[in-house]
Amino acid sequence: MLGVHRASIGRELRRNGENEYTVFLAQRRIRARRRAAKREMRIIESDPGVAAFVEKLLRRTLSPEQVAYVSREASHTTIYAWIRRSRPDLRACLRRRGKRRRRYGTRGILSRYQAAKRPLAERPAVVANRSRIGDWEGDTARGREKPALLVYAERKSRYVVARALPRATADTVQQETRRLLAPYPRHTITDDNGSEFALHRLIEHDTQALVYFARPGHPEERGTCENTIGLIREFFPKKTDFATLTRRQVSDALWLINHRPRKCLSWQTPCRVFGYCCT
């Protein structure tokens, strides 16, 4: 059924399946093994003397290629990989500050994530009419550092659910989306174009809701969620460090928002229109 040889599937199950095989745990194990691969054999990390010498030359404004010629210890690609992997603070010593440029002629090539997205134009008209409960909009509110707040707002009732994340990665967003929306009706989800929603096919599998994406640069197509994040900013301004927030603080803020009478709901509260209370 998968079009893959049975031996390949067997090896995958032995590597990443213990009592039960799950995609999330398998992907996490794969990434951990990839980070640890050849760690002891890496030229710069395994020799503090080489690392100090390379750092000294970089701080003297030499490029990695010039450092590789002078030191004769590591190639310039090894030095770039070491900076990216272990010493991001040394990017300031690079000519272009470590910025990656798009390869010439690749503008029209879409990644598998970008090519598989459902555009907003394919979303059913009933969603735009706000005539049913169960159509959600999602986005992440960023704080001071990498932690973020994952926010989902229901279009008809304006009911909001949210969860603070240590990092807004695709894995954590997929996992928390499943937990946040599990108790509620779900028909469609309209997400932001950020890479944190790259596992939208898994989100569809978990929630049994079709995921659509607004056009890049058009936040008004997810106006309900954008307005909701604005309401949340009253409690957690932009410079808030979400890593310090407790689940109780987030739930208290959501309770106040969901129990606030709204003019667009004929002065009813989101909880009343939604039919679920956030207590």
What's residue 2's pLDDT?
Answer: 84
Report the length, in residues, of the chain.
Answer: 279
What's residue 115's pLDDT?
Answer: 63
For residues 234-260, b (16+ Cβ closer than 10 Å) or e, as one string? eebeeebebeebeeeebeebbeebbee
Q: List Cα–Cα distances, 254 to 130, 136, 160, in angstroms.
A: 21, 16, 7
The 3 state secondary structure assigned to the chain is CCCCCHHHHHHHHHHHCCCCCCHHHHHHHHHHHHHHCCCCCCCCCCCHHHHHHHHHHHHCCCCHHHHHHHHCCCCHHHHHHHHHHCCHHHHHHCCCCCCCCCCCCCCCCCCHHHHCCCEHHHCCHHHHCCCCCCEEEEEEEECCCCCEEEEEEECCCCCEEEEEECCCCHHHHHHHHHHHHCCCCCCEEEECCCHHHCCHHHHHHHHCCEEEECCCCCHHHHHHHHHHHHHHCCCCCCCCCHHHCCHHHHHHHHHHHHCCCEHHHCCECHHHHHCCCCC
Q: pLDDT tens for the chain, 279 residues: list them.
A: 888 999 999 999 888 887 788 887 888 788 888 777 777 678 888 888 999 999 999 999 899 999 999 988 889 999 998 898 888 889 888 887 777 666 666 565 556 666 678 888 899 999 999 999 999 999 999 877 778 899 999 999 999 999 998 888 888 899 899 999 999 999 999 998 888 888 888 899 889 999 999 888 888 888 999 999 999 999 988 888 888 888 899 999 999 999 999 999 999 999 999 998 876
CATH number given to 114-274 = 3.30.420.10
For residues 196-230, b (16+ Cβ closer than 10 Å) or e, as one string? bbbbbebbeebbebbbbbbeeeeeebbebbbebbe
Strand 188-191, strand 135-142: pairing = parallel
What's residue 142's pLDDT?
Answer: 85
